[in-house]
């Protein structure tokens, strides 16, 4: 064995200690996943070597046959996994094996459910796969040397998972990494060729790299044991390059779990080979659940990029728009240069063509899911609906297609569940209805009983209820669908068009004319608090309401801007009143201007509260209301 130098003992990061505690104390029942995780790491190491060797072929050190080897020793009770990938320097070993990204570990801990089967599969998703070795081992040794470094710059890392690890410099002739697991008492089952072979076939058959095991050989008594021979136990061919007819659903699902670091099967996938002007293969997946960093737009995302089956980039962002950042998969192109970089990707016209085609492929996949598996799509929408709502602003070319995939709550539903598509809304629209009506608000409870909906309830017209923070911003980009324009029922002067009869329109005009004097009195009383006062066409039961000007920001957008520290443009609401309401009739007959002013301000503040807004002067509202109550009790 090589002489060890510069040996030192270091402590694990706090988060690693917590993680190791979980591993060592056998939280997980599905112990075999340790091999899946270590093989995935080895595969990544080989991919990284391939990529770096494109510009530095000397890194291959004359050995271009890349592979992973798994061996075992029943007597010593060890399992060894070896790759000839990129390897690690001493500094990298300390960094990669002694620390974990805090956010990833915190989310890992938070996501533990107590379901041992599910929890075991969380390991890979949060970048903590290496530590799964401690599920079956009471000591783990790592021997590694980074490609390109001198043989004397190898590194030996060892730990018993008890809060610290040893690291030393050694001689290592070959590049790459060898991991030796010293199995715990009772875990001897893994020092067995048949057991290891089955685990590899189950979890890692799709790895596009030979995974070799020693051939089972026996020698006759008195004969010398033959030299060790190795055999490949996985298919070792890229899944996406094989014909779809030859691939089982289980293989597609296992491959997704490998690239997505997920324990659940995907909701859907699409496997395509494109030939002609452009040549590429793609395998795209829709996950069943959202990743922990979905709403961090700066978080790494994108497809795995291969060029002529050579791995080039782990998260190539250029092939899908940002609103589809949850899609997992691979794209393998014959038309790109092997020395492609992120900068080149952003400028290459071939990428634009591929991005357009892949985006349509994903949207078609989602359309198919919505049509054929409505319950599955409902689950998809709960996880990814808010991200999909970014689409109309980002992807003008597919705006109509994206709009068809959106789902909303509506006045026809009994709860806040977003299940109504725009196509369904239009299919049950009233005869003569040429608009899609919607109302935005902070909470479903606030909008479902909003006074803005009164005339719509009276006439049986469905209104979409939009309560996600992004909705008002979305509707500023989504102006029409299927030739029908969207109308915010709280904005501007409501015009129901053909849904109002000529008699109703004429009657409304006459009432408005007869109340011109009251309009002027209220306007004089409220002064600068409002931009306009008018007779309402929206109300049937409430006395008054506040409408938003056509060009003014709604409450959602104002709150978003305020929260981000941006200046919010000044705007004043429109005060509308219901002339048939007893309170308005009483106000109209009030002779005292002081009392008239108090009543007008009380109605204004109540309308603001009904709209979900906060009062600018709550003390004045309480004072006026108390004054009125005293007068009524006298």
* pLDDT tens sequence across 244-274: 999 999 989 988 988 887 878 999 999 999 9
| CA–CA gap between residue 354 and residue 333 (Å, rounded) | 9
Read off the pLDDT of residues 201-258 as tens digits, 9 standing for 90 and up. 887 887 888 999 998 766 556 666 666 799 999 887 788 988 999 999 998 998 898 8
Q: Are 410 and 465 in contact (CB under 8 A)?
A: yes
* Residue spans of alpha helices (H) in 396-486: 399-405, 422-427, 444-448, 454-459, 471-475
Distance separating alpha carbons of residues 7 and 157, to the nearest angstrom: 10
CA dist., res. 515 & res. 536, Å (int): 11
Measured CA to CA, the distance from residue 327 to residue 344 in angstroms comes to 22
What CATH class is the domain 5-232?
A: alpha beta
Q: Is the pTM of this model over 0.75?
A: no
With both helix axes pointing from N to C terminus, report the angle between 516-526 and 502-514 in degrees, rounded to the nearest 10. 60
pLDDT for the residue 112: 58
Question: Do the Cβ atoms of 37 and 126 come closer than 8 Å?
Answer: no
Beta bridge partners of 181: 79, 140
Residues marked as binding for ATP?
A: 37, 41, 83, 88, 102-104, 125-130, 177, 342
In this prediction, residue 27 carries a pLDDT of 47
Report helix, strand and coil shares of the chain as percent, to nearest 5: 45, 20, 35
Q: What is 90-151 written as a DSSP string?
A: HHHHHHHHH---HHHHHHHHHH--S-HHHHHHHHHHTT-GGGGGGGTEEEEEEEEE-TTS-G
pLDDT at residue number 5: 87
Binding site members: 37, 41, 83, 88, 102-104, 125-130, 177, 342
Sign, CA torsion 489/490/492/495: positive
pLDDT of residue 390: 93
The contacts of residue 346 (CB under 8 Å, 6+ apart) are: 318
What is the C-alpha to C-alpha distance for residues 2 and 200, in angstroms, rounded to an integer?
31
> Whole-angstrom Cα distance, residue 144 to residue 612?
62
Q: Largest alpha-carbon pair distance within the chain?
A: 122
Q: Which neighbouring-strand residues pair with 139?
A: 182
Query: 451: which 2 tokens?
Result: 């006074």
Taking phi first (over 0 means left), then psi (-120 to 50 degrees means alpha), and beta for anything else, what does residue 379 get?
alpha
User: Rounded to an integer, what distance in angstroms lies between the CA atom of residue 247 and that of residue 237?
Assistant: 12
pLDDT value, residue 168: 95
Residue 344's pLDDT is 61
Residue 579: alpha-carbon gap to chain centroid: 49
Taking alpha carbons only, the member of 610, 543, 602 closest to residue 576 is 543
Separation of alpha carbons 293 and 126, rounded Å: 11
Residue carrying the six token digits 């520290």: 565
Distance of CA 512 to the CA centre of its chain: 50
| CB contact at 8 A, 151 and 145 | yes
Q: State residue 101's pLDDT score.
A: 43
pLDDT of residue 121: 46
HEC profile for 237-284?
CCHHHCCHHHCCHHHHHHHHHHHHCCCCCCCEEEEEEECCCCCEEEEE
> Which fold does the domain 502-551+559-633 belong to in CATH?
1.20.120
Predicted confidence at residue 196, as pLDDT, reads 95
> What local confidence, expressed as pLDDT, does residue 120 receive?
47
Contacts of residue 343, defined as CB under 8 A and 6 or more positions apart, other chains included, come to none
DSSP bridge partners of 252: none
Domain 239-377 CATH class label: alpha beta
The distance in angstroms from the start CA to the end CA of the chain is 102
**d(C-alpha 287, C-alpha 265), whole Å:** 7
Chain-centre distance for alpha carbon 131: 26
Long-range contacts of 40-44 (CB under 8 A, 24+ apart): 40/124, 40/129, 40/204, 40/207, 40/258, 41/129, 41/130, 42/68, 42/81, 42/83, 42/85, 42/177, 43/68, 43/83, 43/207, 43/208, 43/209, 44/85, 44/314
| H or E stretch at 173 | none
Q: If the chain, 634 residues long, is cut into consecutive pieces of 10 residues, what is the mean pLDDT of each piece?
A: 79 72 59 85 88 87 87 96 94 81 50 53 55 89 95 94 90 95 94 93 82 79 72 86 90 87 88 89 92 72 80 81 93 76 68 92 96 94 93 94 95 89 94 91 86 90 91 90 92 79 85 89 90 88 88 70 71 88 89 89 89 83 87 68
The DSSP call for residue 188 is G
Structure tokens belonging to residue 457:
């309830």
φ/ψ of 15, rounded to 5, equals -65, -35
HEC letters along 454-478: HHHHHHCCCCEEECCCCHHHHHCCC
Answer yes or no: are the C-beta atoms of 66 and 51 closer than 8 Å. Answer: no
Model pLDDT, residue 427: 94
User: CA–CA distance from 363 to each of 319, 542, 584 (Å)?
Assistant: 14, 43, 52
Number of CB atoms found within 10 A of residue 348's CB: 16
In degrees to the nearest 10, what's the CA dihedral of 380, 381, 387, 393?
A: 120
- What CATH code would you report for 394-499? 3.40.50.11260
d(CA 36, CA 6): 33
Q: Could you tell me the residue ranges of all domains in the chain?
A: 5-232, 239-377, 394-499, 502-551+559-633
How far CA 86 is from CA of 49, 132, 402, in Å, comes to 5, 21, 42
Task: Count Cβ atoms below 10 Å from residue 296 Cβ, excluding itself.
Answer: 12
């Amino acid at each position: 064995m090589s002489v060890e130098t510069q040996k030192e003992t270091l402590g694990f990061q706090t988060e690693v200690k917590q993680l190791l505690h979980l591993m060592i104390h056998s939280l997980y029942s599905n112990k075999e996943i340790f091999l899946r995780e270590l093989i995935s790491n080895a595969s990544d190491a080989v991919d990284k070597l391939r990529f770096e060797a494109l510009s530095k072929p000397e890194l291959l050190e004359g050995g271009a046959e890349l592979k992973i080897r798994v061996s075992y020793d029943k007597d010593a009770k060890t399992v060894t996994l070896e790759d000839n990938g990129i390897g690690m320097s001493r500094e990298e070993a300390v960094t990669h094996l002694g620390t974990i990204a805090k956010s990833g570990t915190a989310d890992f801990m938070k996501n533990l459910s107590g379901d041992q089967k599910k929890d075991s599969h969380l390991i890979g998703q949060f970048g903590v796969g290496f530590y799964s070795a401690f599920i079956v081992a009471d000591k783990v040794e790592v021997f590694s040397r980074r490609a390109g470094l001198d043989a004397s710059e190898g590194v030996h890392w060892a730990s018993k998972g008890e809060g610290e690890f040893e690291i030393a410099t050694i001689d290592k002739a070959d590049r790459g990494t060898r991991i030796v697991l010293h199995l715990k008492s009772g875990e001897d089952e893994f020092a067995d060729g048949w057991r290891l072979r089955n685990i590899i076939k189950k979890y890692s058959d799709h790895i596009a790299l030979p995974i070799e095991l020693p051939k089972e050989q026996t020698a006759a008594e008195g004969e010398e044991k033959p030299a060790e021979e190795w055999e490949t136990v996985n298919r070792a061919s890229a899944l996406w390059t094989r014909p779809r007819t030859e691939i089982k659903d289980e293989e597609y699902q296992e491959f997704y779990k490998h690239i997505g670091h997920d324990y659940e099967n995907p909701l859907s996938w699409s496997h395509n080979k494109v030939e002609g002007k452009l040549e590429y293969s793609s395998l795209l997946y829709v996950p069943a659940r959202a990743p922990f960093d979905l709403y961090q737009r700066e978080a790494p995302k994108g497809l795995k990029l291969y060029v002529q089956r050579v791995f080039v980039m782990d998260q190539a962002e250029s092939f899908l728009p940002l609103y589809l950042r949850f899609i997992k998969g691979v794209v393998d192109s014959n038309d790109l240069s092997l020395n492609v970089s992120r900068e080149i990707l952003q400028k290459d016209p071939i990428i634009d063509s591929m991005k357009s085609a892949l985006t349509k492929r994903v949207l078609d996949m989602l359309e198919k899911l919505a049509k054929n598996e409505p319950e599955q799509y409902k689950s998809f929408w709960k996880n990814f609906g808010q991200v999909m709502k970014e689409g109309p602003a980002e992807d003008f070319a597919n705006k109509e297609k994206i709009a068809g995939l959106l789902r909303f709550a509506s006045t026809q539903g009994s709860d806040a569940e977003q299940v109504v598509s725009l196509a369904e809304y239009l299919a049950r629209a009233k005869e003569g209805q040429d608009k899609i009506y919607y109302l935005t608000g902070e909470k479903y409870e606030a909008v479902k009983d909003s006074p803005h909906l009164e005339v719509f309830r009276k006439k049986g017209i469905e209104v979409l209820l939009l309560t996600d923070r992004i909705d008002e911003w979305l509707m500023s980009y989504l102006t029409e669908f299927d030739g029908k324009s969207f109308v915010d029922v709280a904005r501007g002067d409501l015009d129901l068009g053909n849904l109002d009869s000529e008699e109703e329109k004429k009657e409304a005009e006459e009432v408005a004319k007869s109340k011109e004097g009251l309009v002027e009195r209220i306007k004089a009383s409220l002064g600068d608090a409002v931009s306009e006062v008018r007779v309402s066409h929206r109300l049937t039961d409430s006395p008054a309401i506040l409408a938003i000007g056509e060009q003014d920001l709604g409450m959602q957008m104002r709150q978003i801007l305020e929260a981000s520290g941006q200046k919010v443009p000044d705007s004043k609401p429109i005060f509308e009143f219901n002339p048939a309401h007893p309170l308005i009739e009483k106000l109209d007959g009030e002779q005292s201007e002081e009392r008239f002013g108090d009543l007008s301000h009380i109605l204004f503040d109540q309308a603001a509260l009904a709209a979900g807004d906060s009062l600018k002067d709550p003390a004045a509202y309480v004072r006026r209301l108390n004054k009125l109550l005293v007068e009524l009790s006298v």
